[in-house]
Amino acid sequence: MALHCSRTCRKYLLHLAQENVEFRLPEIKALLSLSGVQFTPDEHFDEKSPFWVLSNVSEEDVRNVMKRTVCAKSVFELWGHGRTHQELQLSLKNYPTENMVPYLKSDSTYKINVYTFNKTVLHQERIQKIDTLEFLPFSGKVNLKNPDHVFCLLENYGSDPNRIPEDPFYVYFGRWIADGQRDLIRSFSVKKRHFIGNTSMDAGLSFIMANHGKVKANDLVFDPFVGTGSLLVACAHFGSYVCGTDIDYNTIHGIGKASRKNQKWRGPDENIRANLRQYGAEKSYVDVLVSDASKNVWRTGSLFDAIITDPPYGIRESTRKTGSQKEMIKPPEDFNGESHVPVSMAYHLSDIFTDLLNFAAKHLVINGRLVYWLPVYRPEYKEEIIPQHPCLKLISNCEQTLSSHTSRRLVTMEKLKEFEDADGLAHLLHARFNPYQGHNSFREKYFSGLKKKTGKDEFKNTKKL
Amino acid sequence: MKLITHNMLTSHVKGVTKGYPLLIKATEVQVSEVEFNPEFLSRMIPKLEWGVLVQAADSLGHLNDLPNELAPEHEKDEEFLRRVHRVLLEV
């Protein structure tokens, strides 16, 4: 009976961090699907709440999620919940005793924590709240330092810090199971990283991207705009093998001006391999090449399990591709394959995304994921502007606001079918495969908005790009 | 560059009809140790152009006794996987 119940009867309470709110659901869904489980929300599910109740999952499934998530703080086995403490008590009394007993034995030690969201509660009150749980059949000893089992009473006082109610809106009680990987955000902080650039991705977002991309051990992951490899560092941490390309010779070879304050030039050994080594993932390093993302240098075939990338938008890093002034069709007659010096030329944003989607459609394995950022001029944003591709299905699309008029959206797509020649031209035939066209002027709009406001806050926000 | 990467690269120069595999002109050949991971290798081997790998390894003098044809049950042969590992990730 207990075994049969493990996936269906028990519920789990997920406690999430209240930042990157839009990124949380796609992350949890992706991580659950890695265990082959679907996310099934209960009837009270509220995406913006810090507490989610998961059903139809096993303890093992949620443990696997917690090994990866940077959005969730902890997970609990939910024993009872309600709008008031009376409702909680009632619900706890209805919870099957046989599910509690293994954790309340007399030879075990325990402790009870009280967590309040959006309210600070004094120690005295906390003790009182714990005392109301006396009716539970605890028979072990309390041990605050090193208990065998940890229980938690969680109270939600809503999300408005200016109007904090006397009593909580909702209360939960459960057994603590595991914490998420929020620590990674600090331990992988860009501040302490060996090699960084102007647009190195924030550690938390890098892990979120790797999770959205369902990157797992022994995958081969590729980033066509690799820069300093922040995204590869996150992917390698989850055990995948990584490779990348970038058009900027200086970045790939780790030379030139430093991006750090008070440091003029990059030091020796500032490269992506050294970054991976810093986090003990050097074995995951495949290769990083100087190459132009607009020219395909990969042979045909499904090579990559995931493509995770942050294309340049021309704000903090320029968008360049190789080419020549006249865009020659034929090589000159004396062409011997070595004398060609590439000239860099403008690379239009909409072309970047058309190329990226076609590349993903060609080189991802079936069910492999593409994760990338799309810059958006907010007043003009409509969901239809997200580029589509006949081989790729849109999985999620989450906004990170950069300023009052600009934002970037993290787009996740999954490959459905193998690429056929006609698919590569779909963007020319069907308007819906290329609606991003008008957004070539993102850069102009970005700066026009800047000039109008010229507020200091606006300027600070450009840092994120 | 590792031979695993070489195996996946082609030429994008216009007018080149036989862009794959790229010819190797090695100025220096280095061998550096990388942690051995049989799971990754068994997933990677089916994706490789085996003939190209053998040819490339041979041209660098690191053939490491790789056979011209893949044996059917190669993923169970750890010794074989170790030899592939050397050629693919360490040369």
Give me the pLDDT at residue A303, please: 86
A197 and A154 inside one domain:
no
Give me the pLDDT at residue A462, please: 43
A401 and A365 inside one domain:
yes
pLDDT in tens, B37-86: 888 888 888 888 888 898 888 888 888 888 888 877 777 787 888 888 88
The number of distinct structural domains making up chain A is 2
Q: What is the CA radius of gyration of chain A?
A: 26
Tell me which chain A residues have a C-beta less than 8 angstroms from the C-beta of B8. 298-299, 303
Tell me which chain A residues have a C-beta less than 8 angstroms from the C-beta of B47. 220, 301-303
Cβ pair B15:A217 closer than 8 A: no
- Give yes or no for B76 touching A (CB within 8 A): no
| Backbone φ and ψ of A324, nearest 5° | -135, 165
Confidence of residue A175 (pLDDT cuts 50, 70, 90): very high
Mutate to test the interface with B, among A215, A276, A277, A286 (most CBs of B within 10 A): A286
- Give yes or no for B2 touching A (CB within 8 A): yes
Mean pLDDT lowest among A42-56, A325-339, A398-412: A325-339
Q: How far is B67 from chain A (nearest CA, A)?
A: 23
A231 and A276 inside one domain:
yes
A122 and A231 inside one domain:
no
Q: How far is B35 from chain A (nearest CA, A)?
A: 6
Q: Domain containing A406: what range? A: 184-322+343-438
ipTM of the complex: 0.86
A416 and A286 inside one domain:
yes
Contact B39, A305 (CB under 8 A): no
A35 and A61 inside one domain:
yes
Confidence of residue A176 (pLDDT cuts 50, 70, 90): very high
At A145, which CATH number?
3.30.2130
Residue of chain B with shortest Cα separation from A328: B14
Residues 6+ apart with CB under 8 A from A265: A255, A256, A257, A258
Q: Domain containing B58: what range? A: 3-90
Final residue in a domain of this structure, among A180, A211, A245 = A180
SS (H, E, C) A102-150: HHCCCCCEEEEEEEEECCCCCHHHHHHHHHCCCCCCCCCEECCCCCCEE
| Backbone φ and ψ of B29, nearest 5° | -115, 125
Q: Is the pLDDT of residue A356 over 50?
A: yes
Contact A271, A184 (CB under 8 A): no
Give me the pLDDT at residue A42, please: 77
A165 and A189 inside one domain:
no
Average pLDDT over residues A230-254: 83
Cβ pair A296:B12 closer than 8 A: yes
A239 and A311 inside one domain:
yes
pLDDT in tens, A49-84: 999 999 889 999 999 999 999 999 999 999 999 999
Cβ pair B35:A283 closer than 8 A: yes
A166 and A194 inside one domain:
no
Mutate to test the interface with A, among B6, B8, B25 (most CBs of A within 10 A): B8
Average pLDDT over residues A37-58: 89
Cβ pair A283:B37 closer than 8 A: yes
Which two structure tokens, joined as six digits, stand for A281? 């993932």
pLDDT in tens, A268-297: 677 788 888 888 777 888 888 887 767 777
Return the number of CB contacts < 8 Å for A and B. 55
Mutate to test the interface with A, among B6, B40, B45, B89 (most CBs of A within 10 A): B40
- Give yes or no for B13 touching A (CB within 8 A): yes
Final residue in a domain of this structure, among A119, A145, A180 = A180
| Nearest CB neighbour to A330, from listed B15, B20, B40 | B15
A224 and A199 inside one domain:
yes
Residue of chain A with shortest Cα separation from B89: A286
| Nearest CB neighbour to B8, from listed A283, A299, A328 | A299
- Mean residue pLDDT across chain A: 82
